């Protein structure tokens, strides 16, 4: 009798793990597609957006963030070049301002803020995604 109970327990645990894995995969897809759309919508030409190096990162209280690089056309129709971005699970997005050597103090400050936020929320890669 104990063997039967043990076998049932193992089967139930395996079924639950399988269902959890399937749900996680489905949720990852939703998280990624919604987050990519949120990032694209924040740019002047959402249809021109290209992504690369995408991954999900987990931080805090199991919060998931989509991190990677994004490129899109500006208002003049030219691609601006890939830059880092992140989209929180709340669909709030943040882009690397890419302040260069001649940046104003305000631009440099924004660069620093983005760098700290990116390091905090994108440093625990959970899964590469497309």
Each residue of 59-97: pLDDT tens digit?
A: 887 788 999 999 999 999 999 999 999 999 889 999 999
Give the integer Cα–Cα distance in Å for 64 and 67. 10
Beta bridge partners of 67: 55, 86
Confidence tier at 1 by pLDDT (50, 70, 90)? very low
Number of domains in the chain: 1
Could you give the count of Cα atoms lying within 13 Å of 100 in the half-sphere of its Cβ? 1
Give the integer Cα–Cα distance in Å for 56 and 2. 42
Q: Do 58 and 91 touch, CB atoms closer than 8 A?
A: no
Q: Do 64 and 89 touch, CB atoms closer than 8 A?
A: yes
18-42 tens-digit pLDDT: 333 433 444 666 679 999 999 999 9
Give the integer Cα–Cα distance in Å for 99 and 93. 18
Q: Which residue, among 1, 86, 102, has the nearest Cα to 36 in the 3D structure?
A: 86
Confidence tier at 7 by pLDDT (50, 70, 90)? very low
| 23 or 56: which leads in pLDDT | 56
Q: Do 69 and 52 touch, CB atoms closer than 8 A?
A: yes
Whole-model pTM? 0.75
Give the domain extent around 95: 2-128
Burial category of 85 from C-beta neighbours within 10 Å (exposed 0-12, middle 13-18, buried 19 and up): buried
């Amino acid at each position: 009798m104990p063997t039967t109970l043990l076998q049932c327990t193992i089967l139930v645990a395996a079924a639950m793990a399988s269902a959890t894995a399937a749900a996680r995969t489905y949720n990852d897809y939703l998280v990624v597609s919604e987050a990519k759309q949120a990032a694209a919508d924040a740019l002047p030409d959402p249809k021109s957006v290209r992504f690369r190096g995408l991954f999900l990162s987990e931080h805090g209280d199991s919060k998931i963030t989509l991190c990677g690089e994004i490129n899109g056309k500006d208002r003049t129709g030219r691609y601006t070049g890939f830059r880092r971005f992140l989209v929180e699970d709340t669909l709030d997005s943040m882009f690397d301002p890419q302040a260069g050597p001649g940046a104003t103090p305000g631009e440099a400050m924004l660069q620093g803020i983005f760098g700290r936020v990116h390091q905090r929320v994108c440093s625990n890669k959970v899964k590469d995604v497309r």
